[in-house]
Amino acid sequence: MQRHYSGSPQAFFTGGGVHAYANFEKWEDHSMPSVTEGFANSINNVFIRIMRDLVHHYIARSGEAQLLTTARDDPEREAFLRRFVDQESKVYLNRFYRTYHGLSPDEALGVLAHHTRPFAKRLAVVLLSVRPDASRRELGAFLHRYLPHEAISDDDLWDLYQKYDVKRFSLEDRGYLSGIHPLELWLVTYLQNHQNASRDEVTAASGDVRQEIYGWLFNAHSTHKQDVRIRILLEQDAFERILEDWQRQGYPFGHLVPALGTAIGSSGDRPDALADLMGIILNDGVRLPTVDLQRLHFAAGTPYDTEMAIDPKPQRVLAPEVAAVVRQALSGVVAEGRRGG
The model's pLDDT over 94-107, given as tens digits with 9 standing for 90+, comes to 999 999 999 999 99
Backbone angles phi, psi at 307, to 5 degrees: -125, 135
Q: Is 230 exposed, middle or buried (0-12, 13-18, 19+ CB in 10 A)?
A: buried
Quick count: other Cβ atoms within 10 Å of Cβ 216? 10
pTM check: above 0.85: no
pLDDT tens digit string along 286-332? 988 777 677 888 888 898 888 888 777 888 988 999 999 999 998 87
Mean pLDDT of the residues in the chain? 90
Q: Compute the C-alpha angle 115/121/122, nearest 5°.
A: 15
Specify the range with the lowest mean pLDDT, choosing from 23-27, 215-219, 232-236, 309-313: 309-313
Q: Give the per-residue pLDDT at 337.
A: 56
Contacting residues for 140 by C-beta, under 8 A, at least 6 apart: 152, 157
Kindly report the backbone phi and psi dihedral angles of residue 14, in degrees, each rounded to the nearest multiple of 5, phi listed first: -160, 155
Q: How confident is the model at residue 265 (pLDDT cuts 50, 70, 90)?
A: confident
Of 195-204, 206-215, 298-307, 331-340, the poorest mean pLDDT is in 331-340
